[in-house]
Chains A and B, each alone.
Chain A
């Protein structure tokens, strides 16, 4: 049985069915991300004065990822345009570029996550705070048993608030060295993972959900670039429509990043 209106437009809507479907899906996605953005607003507005982090994320890497996604949105559109003018070779080239750009984006995101998970804040028993990236844990390090030492590359501050704004002149001037701390001097120790504070929680939630969308979109695009491209020989019109629909999803993912980047990295 043939599925109706996969190529030709329905007379009542004026659009083929998959396009109506993807726009309805994108509308639900707007509400999904909207809910998380509103959670971000609540957390930010509700934070105590001076306790909302600034400058915690690498703006250079965020900018590179913004450019990569913008380029991938363009190659997606050009892949669809190549299908429209029946240039299958160019379609393969542009969609191949999209896959490579998407994988590079995910690689950079993974590096950023790794950096955050390797970054520790240590509350010391003397009331001060050590902050830095983990260099080494001694073989016998056990925080519960209070044995061994841990070495961080970072600095020690008097007040936790000093760790919140890394763009402040004081934070910029801070000298970072290797600091070795005995477990007996540690009151509490934790990395900058989702459980660290409300900022990292919403950061990992928003960017993690976005990265899952990138991963899903990449798998779909890879399918159309590889095995799914066999349809080009039998039904090029329908294949072109599939590329348009997957492209609309990809542009939406780019749109979400357009707001994620400034909200998380720049403000």
Chain B
């Protein structure tokens, strides 16, 4: 059996329109949820709100990447490229957070 990515399969325009309508509605809902969270009174500071808002943004991003970019059914090579990207992206963010307070001696007073 030939392994086909989503973009190689036969396309039905009407089914794509239905898919897009569902994705758009979910994006509207998640965007509303982010705004509601932002203006809500959760916790004392922003930490909890930022965590919830970013979690909702990740759901949003999954929808766009998974369905609109067909990442849910792509070829192994694309996944390999993305795996490397994720690895280096996590490294970039991790090193940044790790180095947040790592000032060389004598260069910062806090």
Chain A interface residues (CB < 8 Å from chain B): 9, 13-15, 19-20, 23-24, 27, 30-31, 34-35, 37-38, 41-42, 45-46, 54, 59, 63, 66-67, 70-71, 73-74, 76-78, 80-82, 84-85, 87, 90, 167, 244, 248, 251-252, 254-255, 258-259, 261-263, 266-267
- 19 A-B Cβ contacts within 8 A? A14-B75, A14-B76, A20-B77, A31-B92, A34-B89, A35-B92, A41-B97, A66-B31, A70-B31, A74-B23, A74-B68, A77-B20, A81-B13, A82-B13, A84-B11, A85-B13, A255-B61, A262-B38, A267-B53
Contact B77 A14 (CB under 8 A): yes
Q: With A74-B20, A78-B17 as given contacts, are A266 and B34 in contact (CB-CB < 8 Å)?
A: yes
A144–B106 Cα gap in the complex (Å)? 37
B15: nearest chain-A partner, CB-CB: A81
Q: How far is the CA of A87 from the CA of B20 in the complex (A)?
A: 18
Q: Which residues of A contact B46 (CB under 8 A)?
A: 54, 267
Give chain B's interface secondary structure class.
helix
Decide: A78 and B16 in contact? CB cutoff 8 A: yes
Kindly list chain B residues whose C-beta atoms are within 8 Å of the C-beta of A261.
31, 34, 57
The docked-state distance in angstroms from the alpha carbon of A59 to that of B34 is 11
Shortest distance in angstroms between A256's beta carbon and chain B's nearest beta carbon? 9
Instruction: Enumerate the 7 nearest inter-chain pairs by beta-carbon distance, A residue then B residue, closest first.
Output: A38-B96, A266-B38, A84-B11, A27-B85, A81-B16, A74-B20, A70-B27
Residue pair A262, B68 in contact (C-beta under 8 Å): no
In the complex, chain B residues whose CB is within 8 Å of the CB of A82: 13
By the criterion CB–CB under 8 Å, are A34 and B27 in contact? no
Contacts of B68 in A (CB 8 A): 73-74, 76-77, 251, 254
Complex CA distance for A20 and B93, rounded to whole angstroms: 25
Q: State which size class the interface on B falls in.
A: 35 or more
How many angstroms between the C-alpha atoms of A266 and B23 in the bound complex? 22
Beyond A67-B28, A78-B20, whether A90 also contacts B100 by CB under 8 A is no
In the complex, which of the residues B8, B12, B56, B57 has the most CB atoms of chain A within 10 Å of its own CB atom? B57
Q: A30, B27: Cβ atoms under 8 Å?
A: no
The reply on B72 being an interface residue by CB < 8 A is: no
State whether A15 touches B75 (Cβ < 8 A).
yes
Give chain A residues whose Cβ lies under 8 Å from the Cβ of B65. Answer: 251, 255
CA distance A217 to B7 in the complex (A): 21
Q: Chain A contacts of B77 at CB under 8 A?
A: 13-15, 20
- Chain B residue numbers with a CB within 8 Å of A267 are 38, 46, 49-50, 53
Q: Which residue of B lies closest to A82 (CB)?
A: B13
- What is the CB-to-nearest-CB distance from A84 to chain B, in angstroms, rounded to a whole number? 4
Give the shortest distance, in Å, between A77 (CB) and chain B (any CB): 5
Interfacial residues of chain B within 11-63, with CB under 8 A of chain A in the complex: 11-13, 16-17, 20, 23-24, 27-28, 31, 34-35, 37-39, 46, 49-50, 53-54, 56-57, 60-61
